[in-house]
Chain A
Amino acid sequence: MTDTIILAQSLTKNYGSVQALRGVDLEVRKGEIFGFLGPNGAGKTTTIRCMLDMIRPNGGTLRVLGLDPQKEPVAVQARTGYLPGEFAFEGRLTVEGALKYLASLRGDNFDWGFVKKLAERLDLDLKPQFKNLSKGNKQKVGVVQALMHRPELLLLDEPTAGLDPLVQQEVLKLVREANENGTTVFFSSHILSEVQEIAGRVGIIRRGVVVETAGVQELIQKSLRRLRVRFAAPVADGALGQIPGVSILSQDETSVSIQIEGEMDALVKALAKYPVQDLESERPSLEEIFMAYYEEE
């Protein structure tokens, strides 16, 4: 129990007649990076906001850092860093002013040197007013404020939204470093690649219910890939369709479009028997993984 940082059991939340959470069960262990996956409207943000007592669940149990966020919200918030999905701030303040104000909400003891270091790594200028920042730079401020007090738990709601690929990488690196220094990370996303890159385990939420909790590799096994293969010479119909997990989407004399679920090994070995001229692989979207998962169900 002491190793459990977040525990949700049968967590429900209704907005009028809309059931946003319909019984979320979740366990996040100390020291792990946990990716929380789901399409828009699945209940990711609602779950995170329950953890910080911004909204009150209608039922179920929720413990964060061993505490009930509804009974001891300040104690939970003191040990947590949070990046909201849509990071907004008062436009008139400079970045420095904004970060100093936020730091003062945690008390006066904070390491400004560390804040400057974080800003440097993200190439974030502290002088401009918040209203003059681009969407990406605003998101950088959000990342800095979440990390600046070296929290025990990081709750990140789509942390790389609006960032260019280079900064995305730097943010993921910062998150990984925080994790290496002992911070447990819970982050929501609908971008599979970034989850794959840093998360050890993932939970998939769909329509307010966690439908799967698994290791990243396990999830990938469930995923579909699409391949388009062009051959230097004609290939007989049905030559690849017998391989387990492979479905032929379309085929003509010298090319074939394939959908494959699970291991690629058998397909690669089968393709090796033919004169392959070109091969394109398309990683599936998260929606497609969901579809694969639900087809199994």
Chain B
Amino acid sequence: MLTEFRNTLRRSWGAILGWGLSLGALGFFMMGFYDTLEDQRAMLEQLIAQYPPELMAFFGGNGTANLFTPAGYLTMEFFSLMPVVLGIFGVMAGSGLLAGDEENGLLDLVMAYPVSRSNLFFGRLLGFAVTLAAILGLTWLAFVAGIGTTSMDVTAVELVRPFVSLYAIVFLFGGLSLCLSMALPSRGMAGMLGGVLMVASYFIQSLSTLNESLEKVAEYLPLRYYQSGYAIEGLNSDWAWLLGFGLLFTALAWALFLRRDIRVSGEGNWRFGFAKIVFKKPA
């Protein structure tokens, strides 16, 4: 398991640096802009008042007052969009964790080595979990570095909380995509479906603040339980539920991986025939 864990981490260093440094740079500069916001408050309030409420809803705000509090600012400027932005990483990494190598033929080789399916699965899952933590850890460090450039009244520990919530929601999308990749015949389809569910969840959750008929649907969506930047004021237990569901999906993916056949390179296409999926026959 440790070999696969190390191997997954080795393959993820590009993702860690790419995502971590990019989001970190965004966070660092965003912290610095907080003070300039206060200087231009009157003008911004006027501007925001003219925005349609639907637009504000997509940025996690429901009024101008929010933008001028640390929690509201962090939410609207950064954390509201992160489940979708970093969710892309979660969906891609989750759907490709095993199915990617399966489709390019590498898994056919690795599975011939004396590594149990469980060890392979959990080695890679642990690699994904640590990679995600490393990306968010780098981003958090940049935020903490940014505290010194702003008068925002927030501590490093308080800043950990929204990252915990963000970790849980991205892990959930990753786990869901991993599960889909074990159930569906191609990685591409799993990634696409995972992405559609993620974006649809974001839209419904955002619009539900304005449309009561969507409110009931939103209650069943994971983004309802994502605390965003408001977590700096106190973290509730919702993150644990999100993480729990993420683990539930990974457990389901594990069960499927233990039972299913490993495809060979070139397999993994959809073939529709009277609503039946037929796998390509290997040589």
Contacts and interface: CB of A to CB of B under 8 A. Distances in A.
B91 to A, nearest CB: 21
Contact of A55 (B3, B105, B112, B262): B262
Contact of A88 (B7, B105, B259, B276): B105
A54 interface: yes
A84 B112 contact: yes
A105 B115 contact: yes
A123 B276 CA distance: 48
B282 to A, nearest CB: 5
Interface string A71-112: 001110110101011111110100000000110111000000
Contacts of A155: 112
A92 B110 CA distance: 16
A43 B276 CA distance: 23
Interface in B102-159: 104-106, 108-117
Interface string B245-283: 000000000000001011011100000000011111111
Given A74-B114, A74-B115, A101-B7, A44 B283 contact: yes
Contacts of A75: 114
Given A74-B115, A104-B3, A105-B3, A84 B108 contact: yes
B11 interface: yes
B114 A15 contact: no
A84 B278 contact: no
Contacts of B11: 90, 92
Contacts of A87: 105, 109
Contacts of B261: 54-56
Given A16-B276, A54-B262, A90 B106 contact: yes
A63 interface: no
Interface residues of B, number: 30
Interface string A45-66: 1100100111110000000000
Given A49-B264, A86-B265, A90-B11, A16 B278 contact: yes
Contacts, number: 96
Given A55-B262, A74-B116, A104-B3, A16 B109 contact: no
Contacts of A15: 278-282
Contacts of B259: 56
Contacts of A80: 112
A40 interface: yes
A6 to B, nearest CB: 15
A59 to B, nearest CB: 15
A102 B113 CA distance: 8
A82 B110 CA distance: 10
Nearest to A101: B7
A105 B264 contact: no
Interface in B67-123: 104-106, 108-117
Nearest to B2: A104
A88 B283 contact: no
B121 to A, nearest CB: 14
Given A20-B282, A54-B262, 7 more contacts: A15-B281, A49-B282, A74-B114, A74-B116, A77-B113, A88-B106, A105-B3
10 contacts: A16-B277, A45-B282, A54-B261, A84-B108, A88-B105, A88-B109, A89-B106, A102-B109, A105-B3, A155-B112
Interface of B: 3, 7, 11, 104-106, 108-117, 259, 261-262, 264-266, 276-283
9 closest Cβ pairs, A-B complex: A88-B105, A82-B112, A78-B114, A105-B113, A55-B261, A54-B262, A77-B114, A16-B278, A45-B283
